[in-house]
């Protein structure tokens, strides 16, 4: 079993619902985004690079099979779950940020200060909280908590706390274009494996040799 994701860029409408759903469900501190959607080639956020022609690229942790972040972590706080996804133990992380230097995808984020404080700076209402309200432990390791400690690194955990409830990740459930699919990449007959085979699935930064578990299907044409 190797849990992977396929994102069909043909179906992505660039609404950024996945980024918002991810941020809300996972109680991400102000300024932290596990998930982002970019418009490749644009000069500024969401502006088409060529007038009237654009495509959208959602980016989050690629859960690489050859994950540099996992290999550099000196304390095994970033580790590989048995389904292949890369998780961060919020109680173990020492905050050296080596993984952030190692990750070529820029998906890892640091709690530079106490998240409660940064919420105030961003002007959230006092006492306002959001997201999955409980801690989630996997074999005793804290892989999700709604209240992050200061000075630790975080990133997409493949919604491992929702997987335990039999639910798909928040970005998958929140996608109005139904562009995201989760499945077993080890099984050649799974829906995701078939899609990758039939629709020329590709990975990001192939030349870095990270072997991501997140695949993209190229758009047949661009938005007009």
Residues binding another protein (CB under 8 A): 30-33, 36, 38, 40-42, 45, 49-50, 53, 55, 57, 59, 68, 71-77, 92-98, 100-106, 108-114, 118, 121-122, 149-153, 204-205, 208-209, 218-219, 222
**Cα 162 vs. chain centroid, distance in angstroms?**
14
CA distance 32 to 100: 14
Nearer to another protein, 130 or 167 (CB): 130
CA distance 29 to 108: 13
Nearer to another protein, 73 or 214 (CB): 73
Smallest separation, CB 92 to another protein (Å): 6
- Which residue in the block uniquely carries the two structure tokens 């998240």? 115
Query: Quick one: tokens of 23?
Result: 């941020």
Smallest separation, CB 57 to another protein (Å): 8
Let me know if 215 is exposed, middle or buried by CB neighbors in 10 A (0-12, 13-18, 19+): buried
Smallest separation, CB 163 to another protein (Å): 24
Smallest separation, CB 166 to another protein (Å): 30
Query: Quick one: tokens of 39?
Result: 């418009």
The answer to whether residues 180 and 12 touch, using CB atoms and an 8 Å cutoff, is: no
Nearer to another protein, 35 or 85 (CB): 35
The answer to whether residues 155 and 88 touch, using CB atoms and an 8 Å cutoff, is: yes
Nearer to another protein, 150 or 173 (CB): 150
Smallest separation, CB 40 to another protein (Å): 3
């Amino acid at each position: 079993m190797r849990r992977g994701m396929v994102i069909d860029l043909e179906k992505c409408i660039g609404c950024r619902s996945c980024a918002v759903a991810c941020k809300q469900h996972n109680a991400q501190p102000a300024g932290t985004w596990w998930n982002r959607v970019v418009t490749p080639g644009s000069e500024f956020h969401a502006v088409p690079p060529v007038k009237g022609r654009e495509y959208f690229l959602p980016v989050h942790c690629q859960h690489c099979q050859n994950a540099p972040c996992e290999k550099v972590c000196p304390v095994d706080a970033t580790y590989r779950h048995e389904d292949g996804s890369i998780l961060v133990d919020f109680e173990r992380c020492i905050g050296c940020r080596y993984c952030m230097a190692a990750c070529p995808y820029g998906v890892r984020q640091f709690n530079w200060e106490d998240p409660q404080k940064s919420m105030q700076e961003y002007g959230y209402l006092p006492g306002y909280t959001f997201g999955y309200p409980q801690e989630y432990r996997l074999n005793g390791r804290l892989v999700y908590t709604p209240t992050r400690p200061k000075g630790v690194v975080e990133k997409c955990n493949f919604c491992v706390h929702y997987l335990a409830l039999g639910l798909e990740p928040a970005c998958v459930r929140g996608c109005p274009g139904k562009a995201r699919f989760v499945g077993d990449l080890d099984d050649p007959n799974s829906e995701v494996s078939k899609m990758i085979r039939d629709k020329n699935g590709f990975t990001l930064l192939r030349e870095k040799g990270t072997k991501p578990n997140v695949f993209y299907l190229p758009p047949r044409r661009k938005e007009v």
